[in-house]
Structure 1
Amino acid sequence: MDKILMNNQRIRSQVDMVKTKSRVSMEKMKDCVWIYDFDMKRFLYINASSSQLGGLTADEAMKKKAEAFFTSESLEKIESACYYRYLQYMDGNRSDNIVYDLSEYEQYNQDGSIKHIEMSTRLDFNENTHSVVMIGVSRNVTTQKIHQQELIETIKSQLILIKEFQVVDNDKPELQVYFFGKFRVLNSHVKKPIKWRTTKTEELFAFLIENDKPYVSKDKILESLWPDLGIEKAAKYLHTNTYNLKKDLKSAGISFQLELINGFYCYDVQNIHSDLAELRSMIKTVGVDYENFDDEEVDKIEQVILLYESDYLAENDYLWATSQSAFYRKQYEKYVFTLARYYFFKRNYPSTERVLCKLIEIDNFNENYHELLLQAYLFDQDYISFVDHYKELKALFLIELDQTPSPSIQGLYKKYRDSVEVSRNNKNVKTDL
């Protein structure tokens, strides 16, 4: 009973805190306002406008988990971004790109249809309960998305007309773009990196090419690359950098068409190949049922392992890349671990060990990776590697985490030691005979 009372008091405290900071009545807003507690993993408050978004009353929505509202792709995007922001916030980072976020997601309606919503969120700390909450405002932008799609179709038709008047040079150089680790752009024929006039010009090109469509809105570029500047000043910087971008590529003998049409920058990416495109292709075409993998799926994951030198834009200070970095790392680890399980399932223990060592280089504290690696050593009868790895893992956990490996990992080692002891006793019995 005391615990229930404390939770109710905590909820009232956090809701009152947010209402005090708000200048308008949340109940009268047309947009859906909500509060989510990270520690409790539940909504503390949802206003009456929730019915306009998902068809549920506020009371009904309060009983649902976050997973029930969003499509799987949007949920994965939210989890990656929010988890990173939460950790940074708990570490004392109060910069605007951590505290505030504005993104679009797909949300289920009660009838099963999908609505596009724009979600503005802010992290806050309740001094009374010492917990972090996320305060959000969700807005239905489905109609705007429909109009935007109509505009995009118009832009596509205009691009076709533009290409009809362009001289097609089949021998023009191709670009090889690398996103994982440090951003690099190479002329694939001469294998030389492109020299950029400024780091912002390089960032602009990265922002354009990382988009999986051959167009991006001017407003999105301004908000992402110059979030702290006014519109007019940011627009001047964008104009200067687009000029530098074309000039830098032209000086390298590369033709890159970049046109501003109806508020969208449109460009041709057919002559560009990137490691990011390889990863995205793998995510779209490879399943996670390792028992039914075919050779093509295995090859695609192996190719991504070769390309994934480090996290997405790990050596570049691009604020807009933060959430994508967490998402791509999670996807990479998921598929590569699935490949390791496939190799283990096929009794290909050397390949299992090779792939798992790649994962452990990225996440040295993931016990699932270590446990499967230890099992591979045992089945491969590589007992020296098994013992060495277990001892190194145990020392690592004691030094860094002040704890021992999981019971299942310790159980593997105990089972091995018991089998060694039994074998030794049997050998002694034979000697006595």
Structure 2
Amino acid sequence: MRFMLVDDERLALLQLEKLLREVVDTAEVEAFQDPEEALAHAAKARPDVVFLDIHMPGLSGLQAAELLQVSCPDAAIVFVTAYDEYAIQAFEVNAVDYVLKPIQKQRVHKTVERLLKLKPERVDNGPADQTPKTIYCLKTLRFQSRGKSPEVPKWRTAKAQEMFAYLLHHKGQIVHKSTLLDLFFPRMDLKRAMAQLYTAIYQIRQCLHAAGMVVSIQNSSIQEGYILEIGEALLDKEQWEQRGARLGMEVVANPNERFEWLMSYEGDYLEDHGYVWAEHESERLRRLWLSHARELGLYYLKADRGHASTVQLYERIQQIDPYSEEEALILLRLYDEKGQFDKVAAYYEELNEKMESELGLSIPVQIGLWYRQWLEERAGKIASRG
């Protein structure tokens, strides 16, 4: 196991190196007092474990850990500190462990045991693990890797999740640190905000690694920002748009395939998260979906009104755009034509309640008139049978 030790105190370095060699006979240990020198060397040495003192002049341990994730994303981080408050903060950034000074041999032994338990998870699985991954951002942010079903990542904080989503939203572009500070830490003093930013980026990288996602967040030191690259990973919203583009503009040529494509739209962009900055893209995709859905809906109404897909499509249109009077009336009529009278009544009541509770409006006059007429006709038919 290759260890790198970084601490501006020479005696502390010597003590930790001695203890590590006593605990791990075959340990390869390199020690640095200058964190910037250590970072430059780490890119070549690729250590398995980095022990970082948190409280160092110039570059702090938290900042160094954030930069290490670029050059050594697989390295386990162990924070070392003489202060309890720093130890707690280190634990919160998802480090493998933290150790309080003065360091004891028994404590180092416990840390090494923890590292050995984690080691199997860090083994390279080879080419089979390099298959394209998928990031889902329609409806809910999820990851899919190694042929598994899409899963919601285990984020340490909601802030880390949103920051990842924001970087993903601007993938391939430099997102300046000042932009992230203004958006995520607007009322925090600069020093503390920078520490929180480094913490969030560290958490994001740890979450990506744990999920098996080959996604990089490069630190652009020249322009003081980050660039997120998804590599060979796929993005569901891009895949969905590209599939629609391949279908072309002629509905009559492929109505069934177009229907399947529309129904594969799981929900609006980051719908479950409600990020304000995502609303423009969410609205763009929603309008694109509705445009194609309405075109296909009109085709179904003319070509095969009784097809089961017609009802399904208009139910989905109403789900995405619930206040469209024209399509609400179409759906009521379709339910009636298919003899689904319970659905006519249930949908009318649902629409009426939604209009009153969410908009403070009465149900549209045309729909109200149609429904009252429908009730009268139903009552007449039932009476005639009796």
TM-score, normalisation: structure 1: 0.46
Q: Is the 8 A contact 1:172 1:254 kept in 2?
A: no
Q: Distance in 2 between matches of 1:237 and 1:173?
A: 33
In 2 relative to 1, CA 348–232 (structure 1 residues): closer, same or farther, beyond 3 Å?
farther
Alignment correspondent of 1:184 = 142
1:406: Cα distance to partner? 3.1
Matches within 5 A, 1:75-224: 169=127, 171-172=129-130, 174-191=132-149, 193-211=152-170, 213-219=171-177, 220-224=179-183
C-alpha distance after superposition, 1:195-251 (max 9, x if no partner)? 33333222222222233x423332544444344456665444333332332233234
Q: Is the 8 A contact 1:197 1:244 kept in 2?
A: yes
Q: Is the 8 A contact 1:301 1:339 kept in 2?
A: no
C-alpha distance after superposition, 1:53-93 (max 9, x if no partner)? xxxxxxxxxxxxxxxxxxxxxxxxxxxxxxxxxxxxxxxxx
Q: Does residue 275 of the first structure (1) align with residue 236 of the second (2)?
A: yes
In 2 relative to 1, CA 227–331 (structure 1 residues): closer, same or farther, beyond 3 Å?
farther
Choose from 304, 314, 326 the match for 1:347: 304
- State percent identity of aligned pairs: 19
Q: Does residue 257 of the first structure (1) align with residue 211 of the second (2)?
A: no
Moved more, 199-208 or 173-182: 173-182
Alignment correspondent of 2:273 = 316
Alignment correspondent of 1:19 = none
Q: How big is the alpha-carbon RMSD for the aligned residues of Structure 1 and Structure 2? A: 4.2
Q: Distance in 1 between matches of 2:127 and 2:189?
A: 40
Q: Distance in 2 between matches of 1:216 and 1:231?
A: 20
Q: Which SS does the other structure have where 2:129 is aligned?
A: coil
1:373: Cα distance to partner? 1.0
Q: Distance in 2 between matches of 1:394 and 1:229?
A: 45
Q: Distance in 2 between matches of 1:201 and 1:372?
A: 44
1:267: Cα distance to partner? 3.9
In 2 relative to 1, CA 348–385 (structure 1 residues): closer, same or farther, beyond 3 Å?
farther
Q: Is the 8 A contact 2:352 2:362 kept in 1?
A: no
Q: Is the 8 A contact 2:219 2:226 kept in 1?
A: yes
Q: Distance in 2 between matches of 1:197 and 1:394?
A: 39
Alignment correspondent of 1:241 = 200
In 2 relative to 1, CA 387–178 (structure 1 residues): closer, same or farther, beyond 3 Å?
closer
Q: Is the 8 A contact 1:222 1:238 kept in 2?
A: yes
In 2 relative to 1, CA 381–255 (structure 1 residues): closer, same or farther, beyond 3 Å?
closer
Alignment correspondent of 1:406 = 365
Q: Is the 8 A contact 1:176 1:188 kept in 2?
A: no
Q: Is the 8 A contact 1:337 1:369 kept in 2?
A: no
Q: Note the residue ranges of structure 1 that are not aligned, 5 or more in a row.
A: 1-167, 429-433
Q: Distance in 2 between matches of 1:210 and 1:319?
A: 12
Alignment correspondent of 1:375 = 333
Q: Distance in 2 between matches of 1:280 and 1:222?
A: 32
C-alpha distance after superposition, 1:121-168 (max 9, x if no partner)? xxxxxxxxxxxxxxxxxxxxxxxxxxxxxxxxxxxxxxxxxxxxxxx9
Q: Which SS does the other structure have where 1:177 is aligned?
A: strand
In 2 relative to 1, CA 342–169 (structure 1 residues): closer, same or farther, beyond 3 Å?
same
Q: Distance in 2 between matches of 1:203 and 1:397?
A: 30
1:287: Cα distance to partner? 6.5
Q: Which SS does the other structure have where 2:315 is aligned?
A: helix
Q: Is the 8 A contact 2:172 2:227 kept in 1?
A: yes
Alignment correspondent of 1:336 = 293
Q: Which SS does the other structure have where 2:214 is aligned?
A: coil
C-alpha distance after superposition, 1:384-433 (max 9, x if no partner)? 35753575368547865563433266358648967997x999x99xxxxx
Alignment correspondent of 1:139 = none
Alignment correspondent of 1:52 = none
Q: How many residues align?
A: 253
Q: Is the 8 A contact 2:269 2:282 kept in 1?
A: yes
Q: Which SS does the other structure have where 1:312 is aligned?
A: coil
Q: Distance in 2 between matches of 1:404 and 1:204?
A: 41
In 2 relative to 1, CA 224–368 (structure 1 residues): closer, same or farther, beyond 3 Å?
farther
Q: Which SS does the other structure have where 1:260 is aligned?
A: strand
In 2 relative to 1, CA 194–386 (structure 1 residues): closer, same or farther, beyond 3 Å?
closer
Q: Distance in 1 between matches of 2:297 and 2:375?
A: 22
Q: Which SS does the other structure have where 2:332 is aligned?
A: helix
Q: Which SS does the other structure have where 1:200 is aligned?
A: helix
Q: Distance in 2 between matches of 1:257 and 1:175?
A: 13
Q: Distance in 1 between matches of 2:338 and 2:153?
A: 49
Matches within 5 A, 1:17-28: none
Q: Which SS does the other structure have where 1:259 is aligned?
A: strand
Q: Which SS does the other structure have where 1:171 is aligned?
A: helix
Q: Distance in 2 between matches of 1:353 and 1:206?
A: 34
Q: Is the 8 A contact 1:216 1:265 kept in 2?
A: yes
